Chain A
Amino acid sequence: MDWDIVIGIETHVQLKTKTKQFSGASTSFGNEPNSQGCLVSLAYPGVLPVLNQEAVNCAIKFGLSIDAIINRKSIFARKNYFYPDLPKGYQISQFELPIVGEGKLSILIDNHTKDVRILRAHLEEDAGKSSHGLSHGKSGIDLNRAGTPLLEIVTEPDMSSAEEAVAYAKKLHDLVQWIGICDGNMQEGNFRCDVNVSVKKKGSDVLGTRREIKNLNSFKYIKQAIDYEVNWQIETIEDGGLIEQSTILFNPDTGETKAMRSKEEANDYRYFPDPDLLPLIVTEEDMLTIKDSLPELPSEMQSRFVKDLGLSMYDASEITSNKDVADYFIGMINEGASAKLSVNWIIVNLFSRLNDEEMSILDSPVTFEKLADLILKIEDQTISNNAAKKVFEVLWKNPEESVEGLIEKMGLKQISDSSEVEGLVDQVLESNANMIDEFKSGKEKAFNALVGQVMKASKGKANPSQVNEILKKKLSN
């Protein structure tokens, strides 16, 4: 039997604010456990929450960037449950009226764009961290993270494969960094996905029962977890079993998912509006100010690049996947480098080098100015593409060198003087009479071999298209 896969994602995005959601305590990561408490994050008797406006601005920025409704009035609610890393015994979140309403995010999948509908995004505070098994029978609580601002972004169940889910997660991950509301560090847990998965008979209108995979903090895990879960659900149903609504965890070591708690065991969170906080009102003026502060969005930039620079959808999407990449690219074309060549060099040569060294483009030893210089040298035929690759490699290790200087030093300057190329061609033809015969008898391969010989004789410095042209002319005589 054929099955449809239905996926919805809830993402917890940690907002890049200096202080916590409802207090002045610092949000920095990796400090001594419990060194970032303040009376509010430790929930001392009598303390009260005060909303961090910076976090509100982040939420509005996000809403505007996905074309969403910004609710002019939203309400903070208390989500009540007991756990030692939740100091107040409730989490302040938004329930009935979130700050961001319906919007959408487009993903590119197999060269087609697909809209993933965003149902809502709401502000909330994070809990602290529990570490179990630190010493026998004891658990440790670190409340540094307690109260850190989060934006929880919830999609409709619009994705129908692990690939789409990953494409969405990547796109969202890129976007929140692009608009500067999240540092995107997934290892530190600053971008975590809860993925809801269900399967249904192909074409059926009736949704299957979903299971929610909690807290996936890498794209690889998202893919693995969904693949495993989908197979498990299909096998279970085909074996005559029933899927039970539940919360599950993915184990990266085994690649398996495992139920954490079922619906029956789920908490009754007893949500109610937090009487300590007034309704959050967003004015027209706030909206306009924030709108003005938004950078050009990747989707806007992507269409601009397709329209104005003639890039393909794929190239435009790749080059706008990340703000730093886009900035690097824009820097290059501002230096006069061709858009198409710049894209190729960034997404092929630069990316593979960056990947090898696990580096971000911001740390690239080859600056956008240098790479633009290099491309200009290809464009004006000073060097060949292959020679440029050699220069790039040396430049990577010696970033202080200039492109011009390296070409000179490495003797890679292309021979573009046609009489010089002609001389070389003549030389090769003289000593390879047999190849000429082969060519004339119809063996096309012999032509390529002759080109190769000329290039060799020029030590790679001859302009290949020029060699082609002259050789063709000579042979047709």
Chain B
Amino acid sequence: MLNLSLKQLSQNLNDKTFSSHELTEFFLSRIKKYNKQLNAFITIDESSSLSMAKMADDKISKGEHKPLTGIPIAQKDIFCAEGWRTTCGSKMLENFIAPYNATVIQNFNDIDAVNLGKTNMDEFAMGSSNETSYFGSVKNPWNLDCVPGGSSGGSASAVAARLAPAATGTDTGGSIRQPASLCGFTGLKPTYGLVSRYGMIAFASSLDQAGPMAPSAEDCAMLLNTMASHDHKDSTSIDHKKEDYTTNLNHPIQGLKIGIPKEFFGDGLNASVQKIIEEALDKYKKLGAELVDISLPNSDLAIPVYYVIAPAEASSNLSRYDGVRYGYRTKEYDDLMDMYFKTRQEGFGEEVKRRVLIGTYVLSAGYYDAYYLKAQKIRRLISNDFKQAFKKCDVIMGPSAPSVAFGSGEKKEDPLAMYLQDIYTISTNLAGLPAMSIPAGLSSNLPVGLQLIGNYFEEGRLLNIAHQFQLSSDWHLKIPEGIS
């Protein structure tokens, strides 16, 4: 069960080689065994998971089997799941039981996939190392002294250590791709609007996008089939024709034009990471692709623009955590203001407070034009860079992160160094483009991810390109030692 792909698991369930109940128990026991070390899960609810498995088995026995029926999936704790504690990694929601299902969760429930538990994450998805979680930092299974990346670090650690066959994540500035890179598996951030944001606790609404995290591109294609849906409850959800993302996985990639942005290979990229990326690109050449030099001239502005827009939206999105209706409220207070101040002082962690402050500042009267408005203008320039680039190539490739996983605590006190982790991923969030990270090799026994960026709604193409690579490599199948 440990090394089977989602397709194989699905086959076995349908053939009744093993039941969903057995499969779920298998992963629950792995969680029991390894979660103390990894801290990948915030909430496990064995009886709920097993009763979902039971229901899936009933469906399978009635012949109502769908591709992911009965497969346990770890859910990032940013998705509201009815009856489940949903914390978003924050003390503010430590005891919050969601009264409804996010559309992503509902989509999985509709085909009787099993919720395996809620995974750890940076508080309100703000972080690149999973060290801002109120529920403690998450460890990288490849090296327990290293971070798994973030903010979907719990999902990443769980997939890398095979505590779950697959997981969901969300990506606002790289929160699926960077941890996928640092933990050595496949992660996809879809086109903005492809997956509903309803029920996914908002960080930065114009950038947030949910996506699949699993060992292979084929697994991700199966997950995306379920996750993507047009949703009238999310006004920014796009009415895109329903696709089967597994259909074109085997298309040949002869003649594929891969754009190599020179800005992704400059200072700041670790030399051994660069070498592994170049080897991966060589492999693509061997598979029949052609490399084209391109330029994304405004790349260096992506981080500053992001750190205006994302905190601005976050400062407003997080205003609802005021201690009035649900969530944490301070114990003692004199009046309303005192209640607000203490609740938010005590309920939010440092990084969240930092971003709320930045966001409040950039939206303030007198600063709005200089920061927020200007950032929006540059955001359009960044989108335009991609538009120009896609005239010359079919897909853009480069590193997902500037380095391999770094040591726990190494960048915790230096937010700017931490923010640079997302230097290659952020611009696609600003442009709303789909992008993936796939395992490309190991450097000092730590994984390196190759990033693939596609044009709007080209998830199918990206998955096909990734799958072709994975057919002739096994980096995505590697499991860290000591965890098997």
Report which A residues bind B (CB closer than 8 A). 39, 42-51, 78, 80, 82, 84, 87-90, 139, 141, 268, 270-272, 275-278
Roughly how many angstroms separate A158 CA and B139 CA in the complex, as a whole number? Answer: 67
Q: Mark B195-211, 1 if CB is under 8 A from A, else 0.
A: 00111111011100000
Contact B324 A270 (CB under 8 A): no
Q: Quick check: is B7 within 8 A (CB to CB) of the other chain? A: no
Taken together as a complex, chains A and B put the C-alpha atoms of A84 and B343 apart, in Å, by 13
Query: Which residues in B have their C-beta under 8 angstroms from that of A139?
Result: 336
Given A39-B100, A46-B202, A84-B336; A276-B235 close (CB under 8 Å): yes
Nearest CB of A to B466, in Å: 29
Inter-chain pairs besides A44-B326, A46-B202, A89-B318, 12 sampled, C-beta below 8 Å: A42-B325, A45-B93, A45-B327, A48-B198, A48-B233, A48-B235, A50-B233, A50-B234, A84-B336, A89-B322, A272-B368, A277-B236
B364 contacts across to A, CB distance below 8 A? 268, 270
Residue of B nearest to A90 (CB): B316
Chain B minimum-CB-distance residue to A277: B235
Number of interface residues of B (CB under 8 A): 44
Which residues of B are at the interface with A, using a C-beta cutoff of 8 A? 79-80, 86, 88, 93, 96, 98-100, 102, 197-202, 204-206, 232-236, 312-313, 315-316, 318-320, 322, 324-327, 336, 340, 360, 363-365, 368, 372
A46–B319 contact, CB under 8 A? Answer: no
Contact residues in A for B202 (Cβ distance below 8 Å): 45-46, 276
Given contacts A39-B99, A272-B316, contact A46 B322 (CB under 8 A): no
Which residues of chain B come closer than 8 Å to A84, judged between CB atoms? 322, 324, 336
* Cβ distance B175 to chain A, nearest Cβ, rounded Å: 16
Contact A90 B319 (CB under 8 A): yes
- Are B312 and A272 in touch, CB under 8 angstroms? yes
Q: Do B319 and A80 have beta carbons less than 8 Å apart? A: yes
B398 → chain A, closest Cβ, in Å? 27
A45 to B234, CA, bound (A): 14
Contact of A46 with B200 in the complex, beta carbons under 8 Å: yes
Closest to B90 in A: A45
* Chain A residue nearest to B87 in the complex (CB): A45
Can you list 30 contacts pairing A with B, beta carbon distance less than 8 Å? A43-B320, A43-B325, A44-B326, A45-B86, A45-B88, A45-B98, A46-B198, A46-B200, A48-B198, A50-B232, A50-B233, A51-B235, A78-B316, A80-B315, A80-B319, A82-B319, A82-B322, A87-B325, A88-B319, A89-B316, A89-B318, A89-B319, A270-B315, A270-B360, A270-B363, A270-B368, A271-B363, A272-B372, A276-B205, A276-B235
In the bound complex, do residue B102 and residue A46 qualify as a contact, i.e. CB atoms below 8 Å apart? yes
For B316, give its contact among A80, A87, A268, A277 (CB under 8 Å): A80
**Which has the most chain A C-beta neighbours within 10 Å: B204, B233, B234, B320?**
B320
**Cα A46 to Cα B81 with chains together (Å):** 11
Closest residue on chain A to residue B237 by CB atoms? A48
A276 and B236 within 8 A (CB): yes
Residues of A within 8 A of B360 (CB): 270
Cα distance A84–B234 in the bound complex, in angstroms: 25
A49 to B316, CA, bound (A): 14
Taken together as a complex, chains A and B put the C-alpha atoms of A88 and B234 apart, in Å, by 17
With both chains docked as a complex, state the minimum distance between the C-beta of A195 and any C-beta of chain B, in angstroms: 25
Q: Which of A39, A46, A268 has the most CB atoms of chain B within a 10 A radius of its CB?
A: A46
A270 touches B316 (CB 8 A): yes
Shortest distance between the CB of A127 and any CB in chain B (Å):
13
Look across to chain A and name the residue whose beta carbon is closest to the beta carbon of B376. Answer: A273
Per CB-CB distance, the 7 closest pairs between chain A and chain B, nearest first, are A89-B319, A270-B363, A275-B206, A275-B205, A46-B199, A43-B320, A45-B201
